[in-house]
A and B are shown apart, each in its own frame.
Chain A
Amino acid sequence: MKIFVCTKQVPGISEVKIDPKTNTLIREGVESILNPNDRNALEMALVLKEEQKAEVIALTMGPPQAEEILREALAMGVDKVVLLSDRAFAGADTLATSYTLALAIKKILKESDSEENYLIICGSQAVDGDTGQVPPELAEELGIPQITYVQKLELSEDKIVVERKFRATEIVVIETKLPALISVLTDINKPRFPTMMGIMKAYENSNVIYFDSKNLNADISKIGLNGSMTEVKKIFFPERNGKRIILEGSPEEVVKKLCHHLQEDKIL
């Protein structure tokens, strides 16, 4: 069995802050990190690998420096990492990203000799765009079933049984045959830290496999900007539209003032 984990390099979200005076982004020291939710996906894959025989392969599409997150995945214990990198992939929206990831998965499957079954694990969302669209689009591209927002999974030879959270308090248990794709929620497990051995192994050279648009045989009208239907028209900052009246005085006074305002506003 092969377990693919899709991972993404994102800007560290807690560091993306706005300067309240100039209303612009403060970018100093914004580091790129492994999308936190994808750590949950990696952890799930590694636990499954311990339970049964499986090869865990982490994939990412991104610029060459995305190699860093793949080394991190290696250090956590995945068997193989693949980086899809090419200038022609730039500007990809979720349609183009899922097309490209699907090509890589198909290529890896074709090149492995056996008729193995496979499972794909994604994060439910990346903290940058937070679209959550890549997982279902990838499943559609591959023509396999998807189950999103998963919090628990049981894997056997040819099927999975998962718990999917679809409301704050509602869970549906779904069964489907392999191959299949799931996207997992955050907080479902505690991702492991890399071991010393793992880190050393991760930095041996040569163990990142590179794919570009040529060796993926990509249709250039479907990758990068060309394959993207959505366009960013503009980027701006949320408006702070509070009237910002700070009520002053003793607790009794401020409460009186508040009630007065609320009556004026016809709220009370």
Chain B
Amino acid sequence: MSIKIDHELCTGCASCVESCMYGAIELNNNIAKVLPNCTLCGACIEACPEEAISLERGDIKTKKIDISQYKGVWVIAEHYKNKIHNVAFQLLRKGRELADLLQVNLTLVILGANFDDKLEEFSQYGMDEILYVRAPILKDYYSDLYVKVISELVVQNNPEIILIGATPTGRDFAPRIAKRLNAGLTADCTGLEINPETKNLLQTRPTYGGNILATIQTPSSRPQMATVRPGIFKIPEKVQKDVKIRTIEYQFKEKDSVTKIVKVISKTKNTVNLEDAKYIVAGGRGVGSKENFKLLKDLANVLGAELGGSRITIELNWLDPDRQIGQTGKTVNPKLYIACGISGAIQHIVGMQNSDIIVAINKDPNAPIFHWAHYGIIGDLNEIIPILIQEFKKLKSEE
């Protein structure tokens, strides 16, 4: 197995050199040369405009499966305290789009105990079918039970695409199912598309802390599985539609799970719903102190906005952990995002770049946040925000 460069075709344009994350290609006498630290990731192949690069796989052929046998798009829900995580509904919007392109059915899969009277409402989110696996023990999340039930369902029904929220729960059971089924899985995707020619799922995800995006595909195995970051897609409008509901009674034997839930510790005071917020006022280290967040709170209040922050504000204990926005926090997509005293590190950006309008207030004209902002104000937030509050109030009273 190796990367082969066709010396006849190579023009020494260096596109491959730039595409390599590992610095494993260099130009030698104006011809690309692969270095020993190559990981065979294959990114250079697509980058080459001359099609001079190929991946020689050797002659070992893995068992080929007949991918045409797999049909349908599945979204798997997770829930806590009898409430379905919003990411499942968000994925139904994207799932609908994918299913329509492929002309197949869209199925929502729920493993739970007390959803009977909610299925009617869920059926308005545009799927063709709900697969509801019911068992008293599924009131809670058990890693091994999810893996067992979902793997069995997949083997019986052969879906071609499975979408799961990239939450700590989704990222716990999805890999284990992928391994059991020998299926490819792409983690924490932020973009999903269908390749019009091959009909493969193209899964785009941030790597290297969001500095680089990679598009991944799983051409030779099925199902194509992806965990998808919450907050990337919007919840679809409700529609009236005939939805087939299949309830499967699952009989678990005593001690079917090898794990035991001892207890759940909840530290929520009042639930923050940043993911659904229409307006967000976010603060960073530039806010200066916990006390000074009062200023941002006032701004949030006139707007009817939620308050959020960069990671450092959580580390400094200025804000509660569930208000963190970014790679290790929440992904949000409000109509308006006002970033105050935030420098715009990529780890923060990946959590808020889908906002409709981004406003940045920062006293450093070179702060990276200005690359991402639609409107930038270079100045001291302590000076700007009070005026902004006055102006917003005035506009409100005029309405």
Contacts and interface: CB of A to CB of B under 8 A. Distances in A.
Contact of B371 (A17, A168, A176, A244): A244
A235 B47 contact: yes
A130 B188 contact: yes
B224 to A, nearest CB: 9
A108 interface: no
A173 B265 contact: yes
A237 B43 CA distance: 13
Given A170-B80, A173-B265, A246-B376, A232 B395 contact: no
Interface string A150-170: 000000000001011111111
Interface centre among B167, B179, B346, by most chain A C-beta atoms within 10 angstroms, is: B179
A238 B175 CA distance: 26
Nearest to B220: A229
A232 B183 contact: no
Contacts of B141: 166, 172
A20 to B, nearest CB: 8
Interface in B205-258: 206-221, 258
A75 B41 CA distance: 32
A163 B168 CA distance: 13
A232 B359 contact: no
A19 B369 CA distance: 16
B62 A226 contact: yes
Interface stretch (B106-114, B124-132, B287-295, B317-325): B317-325
A247 B206 contact: no
A88 B1 CA distance: 7
B57 A231 contact: no
A91 interface: yes
Given A94-B185, A251-B379, A267-B335, A220 B261 contact: no
Interface of A: 11, 13, 16-18, 20, 24-25, 27, 30, 63, 65, 87-88, 90-91, 93-95, 98, 127-137, 139-141, 145-149, 161, 163-177, 220-221, 224-238, 240-247, 251-252, 254-256, 258-259, 261-263, 265, 267-268
B23 A98 contact: no
B55 interface: yes
B264 A13 contact: no
Interface string B145-171: 001000000000000000000011101
Contact of B40 (A18, A90, A130): A90
Interface residues of B, number: 109
A146 B321 CA distance: 25
Interface of B: 1, 18-19, 21-23, 36-43, 46-47, 55, 57-58, 60-63, 80, 141, 143-144, 147, 167-169, 171-176, 178-180, 182-188, 202, 206-221, 258-268, 320-322, 324, 329-330, 335-336, 346, 349-350, 353, 356-359, 365, 370-379, 383-384, 387-388, 391-392, 395
Contact of A247 (B209, B268, B377): B377
A30 B23 CA distance: 9
Given A145-B258, A174-B260, A251-B379, A240 B216 contact: no
Nearest to B219: A231
B221 A229 contact: yes
A137 B144 contact: no
Nearest to A16: B208
Contacts of A256: 391
B187 A170 contact: no
Contact of A240 (B22, B42, B371): B371
Contact of B259 (A165, A170, A175): A175
Contact of B184 (A11, A95, A98, A236): A95
Interface centre among A127, A136, A148, by most chain B C-beta atoms within 10 angstroms, is: A136
B172 A245 contact: no
A172 B395 contact: no
A165 B372 contact: no
Given A95-B184, A247-B375, A149 B172 contact: yes
